[in-house]
């Protein structure tokens, strides 16, 4: 473990110790070794210095995952400058707001997302750099003219390299643990983006402590599928493997099955990070259909002892589909369905659950793949204090508050919200409700802002009801909320499955609507039999389009709870 808790110390240590090993790579392309990364980072860092970037300046990155993302990240932080990673899914107007609010001096942008910045006045920035080729974009360049620029830019790259080579080793920057390393603008479910200020110590300390969970070693291979601009992937899927000398591979295209499956076969990852929606989709589209394909299997699956044997066989096949070498499959970002977690346990699949927030760098609690506890997010990290405040005397549930070296410095240019979240003595209020069991394992009930107070004062956690709704083979995702003092739900259905198994292609729209309404009526009854009397829902609305979600696949609730007049987008019972 490094004694100096800075990203610079991690970079220097790893690039020297693991110089010849693969560090970052696209699947099927020539990889960057740790020595290659060191050389590229030093060149780019010196070039940024020439562009007037110095200690404390903000530099933005807007890009899909790629090796150059990590190279830019280290080049910025080695100068003592501050990385502003921007989620590519942000709307163009939000991207522009973040660039203004963070006062970024330089922008790294990939060709894929260039349209999000092409309307900006490039003259207001010290430089706009195309991440794909690490070349400076000229003013007035548009998405349409970018291809020609890429051809012309190759000569410029060589010129820049020659210039910075002369300066290599001449520029030294003193970096301290408490210096801000990154400002991350959160994409939460409330609709309000906040700039979370994380120091070098916040990030590196969390990475060093959390590294014990996946126990990453230099021989490990990771396939990255979550956005690097999110702290979950950045710390656990990038900083930790880089610190440990492992190899991280990236996809050139979005991780659809046709792209992901061949990549898994080639990389044969030993560790991966994902969100519940990914494994839930695999379970519903690959595991369950196979089990229910034959009548005898369907019947035997109802017997617990036989079910466990079937799940164990399915688990072997599932591990093979992930490349056959997986020993750590991290799941985080939102709650995992109990039914699917039970399958993973019986399948002996090496899954592990973690919990954290951007404000905590991010990990607060977690386990390795051998100490998981059903429906728990694991044990608090060593050195992180967790306590439960404002505990409900009936349920034992209260707000989760944490304190430790991983807790943020505050929100950028927002002292009011910083004061609301951080107490004077350093306790961070997560806004999540939960409890600790007798063994110290943490359990999450839901977001406090989402809690619905029942007619008799009961606290109703919509996430718990959504979990029951999502067990249906025909429900992809759901949202529970209060309407006119009653609980209601919206569900997005698996229409492809419905059409192949239930609905005849010869039905007209009216007949199809009747079939769906009948199915929703059955679903309503099934769900209400499985929840407490005060948690029963009165109606189910059909959400025809997929819910808009955050990068960790949590539904942006604020977009739907207050849009009840949109009758074109639902049917109700």
Q: Is residue 329 part of a domain?
A: yes
Q: State the pLDDT at residue 149.
A: 53
| CATH number of the structural domain spanning residue 291 | 3.40.50.12780
Helix intervals (H) in 424-543: 462-469, 495-501, 509-528
- CB atoms inside a 10 Å sphere around CB 1: 9
Measure the CA–CA gap between 129 and 146, rounded to whole angstroms: 12
Q: Tell me the C-alpha distance between 3 and 356, whole Å.
A: 24
For residue 421, the Cα-to-chain-centroid distance in whole angstroms is: 22
Q: Is residue 112 part of a domain?
A: yes
- Per-residue pLDDT tens over the stretch 275-321: 998 898 889 888 988 888 888 988 999 999 999 999 999 999 999 99
**Do 282 and 408 share a domain, yes or no?**
yes
Query: pLDDT of 437-477, one tens digit each?
Result: 999 999 999 999 999 988 777 889 999 999 999 999 899 99
Q: Are residues 407 and 546 in the same domain?
A: no
pLDDT tens-digit map of 336-391:
989 999 999 999 999 999 999 999 999 999 999 999 999 999 999 999 999 999 99
* CB environment 34-59: b (16+ within 10 A), e (fewer): bebbbbbbbbbbbbbbebebeeebbb
Nearest CA to 367 among 440, 281, 301? 440
**CATH no. for residue 539?**
3.30.300.30
Give the pLDDT confidence of 216-269 residue by residue, as tens digits. Answer: 999 999 999 999 999 999 999 999 999 999 999 999 999 988 999 999 999 999
Mean pLDDT, the chain, integer = 90
Instruction: Give DSSP secondary structure letters for 289-348.
Output: HHHTSSHHHHHHTTSHHHHHHHHHHHHHHHHHHTTS---EEEE-SSPPPHHHHHHHHHTT
Q: 175, 204, 229 — which closes off a domain?
A: 175
What CATH number corresponds to the domain at position 127?
3.40.50.980
The number of distinct structural domains making up the chain is 3
Quick check: is 5 in a domain? Answer: no
Q: Are residues 444 and 456 in the same domain?
A: no
Give the confidence band of 554 by pLDDT, cuts at 50, 70, 90: confident
**Full DSSP string of 73-110:** HHHHHHTT-EEEEE-TTS-HHHHHHHHHHHTEEEEEE-
DSSP reduced 3-state for 475: strand
Residue 340 shares a structural domain with residue 365: yes
The bridge status of strand 328-331 relative to strand 271-274 is: parallel
Rounded CA separation 427/82 (Å): 24
State whether 430 and 472 are in the same domain.
no
Exposed e or buried b for every residue in 119-131, given b needs 16+ CB within 10 A? ebebeebbbbbbb
Domain final position from 396, 426, 450? 450
Residue 382 CA to residue 393 CA, distance in Å, equals 28
- Confidence class of residue 550 from pLDDT cuts 50, 70 and 90? confident
Mean pLDDT of 40-44: 95
CB-based contacts of 226: which residues, under 8 Å, 6+ apart? 232, 233, 237, 273, 274, 275, 551, 552
Burial 499-520 (b: 16+ CB within 10 A, else e): eeeebeeeeeeeebeeebeebb
User: What tokens were used for 298?
Assistant: 């369907």
Task: For 249-268, give the DSSP string.
Answer: EE-SS---HHHHHHHHHHH-
Q: Which domain holds residue 63?
A: 31-175
Q: Is 135 part of any domain? A: yes
Which residues contact residue 407 at a Cβ distance below 8 angstroms, ignoring those fewer than 6 apart?
202, 359, 360, 361, 422, 426, 428
Instruction: Name residue, tokens 């051809």.
Output: 151
Residues 429 and 478 grouped into a single domain: no
Pair 259, 381 in one domain:
yes
Do 252 and 126 fall into the same domain?
no
CB 233 within 8 A of CB 227: yes
Q: Are residues 380 and 390 in the same domain?
A: yes
Secondary structure in 3-state letters for 196-207: EEEEHHHHHHHH
Query: Cβ(15)–Cβ(37) under 8 Å?
Result: yes
Regarding whether 283 and 394 lie in a shared domain, the answer is yes
| Residue 573 predicted with pLDDT over 50 | no
Q: Give me the percent of the chain exceeding a pLDDT of 70.
A: 90
Q: With DSSP H G I counted as helix, E B as strand and the rest as coil, what are the percentages for the chain, rounded to 5?
A: 40, 20, 40
Among 175, 201, 217, residue at a domain's last position:
175
CB 224 within 8 A of CB 23: no
User: How many Å apart are CA 507 and CA 330, to the nearest integer?
Assistant: 43
Range from 205-214, 226-235, 466-475, 557-566 carrying the lowest mean pLDDT: 557-566
Residues 6 or more apart from 175 whose CB is under 8 A from it?
6, 7, 8, 55, 77, 78, 80, 200
pLDDT value for 157: 52
Map residue 35 onto helix, strand or coil.
helix
How many whole angstroms separate alpha carbon 73 and alpha carbon 278? 27
pLDDT at 512: 80
* Residue 193 within any structural domain of the chain: no
Residue 150 falls within a domain, yes or no? yes
């Amino acid at each position: 473990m490094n004694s100096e808790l800075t990203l610079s110390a991690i970079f220097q240590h790893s690039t020297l110790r693991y110089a010849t090993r693969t560090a970052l790579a696209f699947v099927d392309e020539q990889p960057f070794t740790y020595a290659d990364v060191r050389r590229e980072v030093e060149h780019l860092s010196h070039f940024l210095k020439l562009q007037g970037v110095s200690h404390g300046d903000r530099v933005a990155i807007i890009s899909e995952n790629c090796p150059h993302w990590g190279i830019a990240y280290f080049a910025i932080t080695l100068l003592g400058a501050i990385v502003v990673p921007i989620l590519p899914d942000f709307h163009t107007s939000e991207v522009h707001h973040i660039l203004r609010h963070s006062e970024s001096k330089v922008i790294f942008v990939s060709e894929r997302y260039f349209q999000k910045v092409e309307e900006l006045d490039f003259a207001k920035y010290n430089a706009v750099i195309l991440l794909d080729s690490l070349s400076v974009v000229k003013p007035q360049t548009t998405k349409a003219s970018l291809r020609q620029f890429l051809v012309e830019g190759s000569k410029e790259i060589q010129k820049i390299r020659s210039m910075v080579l002369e300066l290599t080793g001449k520029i030294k920057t003193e970096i301290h643990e408490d210096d801000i390393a990154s400002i991350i603008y959160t994409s939460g479910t409330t609709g309000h983006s906040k700039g979370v200020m994380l120091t070098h110590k916040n990030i590196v300390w969390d990475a060093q402590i959390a590294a014990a969970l996946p126990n990453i070693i230099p021989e490990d291979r990771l396939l990255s599928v979550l956005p690097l601009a999110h702290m979950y992937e950045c710390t656990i899927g990038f900083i930790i493997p880089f610190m440990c000398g492992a190899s991280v591979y990236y996809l050139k295209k979005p991780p659809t099955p046709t792209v992901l499956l061949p990549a898994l076969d080639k990389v044969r990852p030993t560790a991966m990070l994902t969100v519940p929606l990914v494994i839930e989709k695999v379970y519903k589209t690959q595991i369950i259909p196979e089990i229910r394909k034959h009548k005898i299997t369907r019947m035997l699956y109802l017997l617990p002892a036989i079910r466990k044997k079937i799940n164990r066989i399915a688990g072997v096949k599932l591990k093979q589909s992930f490349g056959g070498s997986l020993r750590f499959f991290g799941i985080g970002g939102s709650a995992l369905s109990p039914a699917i977690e039970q399958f993973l346990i019986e399948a002996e699949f090496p899954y592990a659950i973690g919990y954290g927030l951007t404000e905590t760098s991010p990990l607060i609690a977690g386990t390795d793949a051998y100490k998981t506890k059903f429906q728990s997010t694991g044990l608090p990290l060593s050195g992180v204090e967790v306590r439960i405040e404002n505990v409900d005397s009936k349920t034992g549930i209260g707000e989760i508050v944490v304190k430790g070296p991983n807790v943020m410095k505050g929100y950028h240019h927002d002292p009011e919200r910083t004061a609301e979240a951080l107490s004077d003595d350093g306790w961070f209020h997560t806004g999540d409700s939960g409890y600790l069991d007798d063994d110290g394992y943490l359990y999450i009930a839901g977001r406090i802002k989402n809690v619905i107070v029942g007619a008799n004062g009961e606290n109703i956690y919509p996430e718990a009801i959504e979990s029951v709704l999502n067990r249906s083979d025909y429900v992809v995702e759901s949202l529970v909320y209060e309407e006119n003092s009653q609980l209601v739900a919206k569900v997005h259905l698996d229409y492809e499955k419905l059409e192949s198994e239930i609905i005849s292609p010869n039905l007209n729209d009216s007949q199809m609507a009747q079939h769906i309404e009948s199915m929703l009526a059955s679903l309503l009854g099934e769900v209400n039999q499985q929840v407490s009397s005060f948690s029963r829902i009165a109606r189910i609305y059909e959400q025809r389009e997929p819910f808009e979600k955050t990068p960790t696949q949590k539904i942006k609730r604020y977009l739907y709870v207050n849009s009840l007049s949109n009758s074109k987008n639902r049917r109700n019972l």
